Amino acid sequence: MKKIALVIFSVFLLSPLAALYASPVIYAAGTEAGRATLWIDGVPQILANNDSAAISVFVYGDDVYVAGHRGQLNNSLATLWVNGIPQTLGDFQSIAYSVFVADGNVYAAGTEGGRAVLWVNGEAQFLYSGNSGALSVFVYGTDVFVAGSIGGFGSEGERAALWTNGRQEILSSSRSTARSVFVYENDVYVAGYLGALGTTSVAMLWKNGIDQGISSTFSYGLSVFADEGGVYVVGSTGRATGLTNVLWTNGISANIAGDRFTTARSMFIHSGNIYIIGVSGRWPDDRAVLWVNGVQRNLSSRSSSASSVFVR
């Protein structure tokens, strides 16, 4: 483990972003040129060859955990990288969308064979018997929360779902998706949307299962975070041909800098600073981007995107 830490430190010295972010350290997961990539203070580490993606990152102690997949989506293998070393979690057609570590136990949420699954220390626990997906996992005390949907991604029958220690709760009776879950002071927050993403969707924030009414127009919520300052949801408003990135703070929306092809995907708050990760531009001009308190910086000069950020 010490050898890995020394290697990481050596590349920090070469990064132009390192001087800006000497403390804290910013970890971002995504893809660069079709390959799973982890950026540490702006320095890319390629985790796998072509046809792979890093979707979620979590840091615990001296270890860095990244969830994602290797292989094309119709033949993908859910993968967990620990300090850059891959571990295969699932079999045929599996993806790990989220990772969380607590008390030395590693939780990863995703899909395998079209079903929502939670891997605990590599062991699969299926959450639903039919078409479903698990997109986010959060551990609070002894409770494990997983957000996702049942009924099939992108279908009319899709319903936002929250599993608490395996017990399922349907958050809406209409077409919907739960994308992110966060727990703060015993309150459970879930971000997502009603309707079809990008066409009829409306951003949603559920608090303990109750809709908080953050939007009534075309929009969607992708990530939620809560602290003593309040509850934050990042997402977009408008249709796919003209999106505006939005940060809702305690229900009040504020636009995030970026053009109409920019998508904010995930957020993290550290010492009062707001870190948002996403992608700007269309392929092949798409670029992984990071916003720090609203100021946008590119993480890459190549075709890339970023899906998750962790700061400590």
Rounded average pLDDT over 68-89: 95
Are 285 and 291 spatial neighbours (Cβ–Cβ below 8 Å)? no
Rounded average pLDDT over 103-118: 97
Quickly tell me which residue has 């698990």 as its tokens. 134
Confidence grade of residue 50 (pLDDT, cut at 50, 70, 90): confident
Q: In this predicted model, which residue has the larger pLDDT, 48 or 154?
A: 48
In one-letter notation, the amino acid at residue 215 is S
Give the pLDDT of residue 1: 35
Q: Please tell me the distance from the alpha carbon of residue 289 to that of residue 275, in angstroms, as a whole number.
A: 11
Rounded average pLDDT over 52-62: 98
Beta bridge partners of 183: 188
CB burial of residue 241 (10 Å; 0-12, 13-18, 19+) = exposed
Q: Which of 135, 164, 137 is nearest to 58 (CA)?
A: 137
The tokens for 15 are 């990064």
Give the pLDDT of residue 239: 66
Beta bridge partners of 136: 147
Rounded average pLDDT over 23-38: 96
The tokens for 167 are 């017990």
Q: Which of 156, 147, 118 is nearest to 221 (CA)?
A: 147
This prediction has a pTM of 0.91
What pLDDT digit, counting tens, does each position of 284-308 carry? Answer: 899 999 999 999 999 999 999 999 9
What pLDDT digit, counting tens, does each position of 111-155 carry? Answer: 999 999 999 999 999 999 999 999 999 999 999 999 999 998 878
Give the pLDDT of residue 165: 98
- pLDDT > 70: percent of the chain: 91
211: how many CB neighbours lie within 10 A of its CB?
12
**Mean of per-residue pLDDT scores for the chain:** 90
Q: In this predicted model, which residue has the larger pLDDT, 204 or 257?
A: 204
Confidence grade of residue 16 (pLDDT, cut at 50, 70, 90): very low
Q: Is the pLDDT of residue 207 over 90?
A: yes
What pLDDT digit, counting tens, does each position of 228-280 carry? Answer: 999 999 998 876 666 789 999 999 999 988 776 788 999 999 999 999 999 99
Q: Is the pLDDT of residue 8 over 70?
A: no
The tokens for 156 are 């009319």
Q: Where are the domains of the chain?
A: 1-102+284-312, 127-255
Give the pLDDT of residue 196: 87
End-to-end CA distance of the chain: 18
CA distance to 35, 44, 71, 138, 302, per residue, from 305 (Å): 10, 12, 17, 23, 9
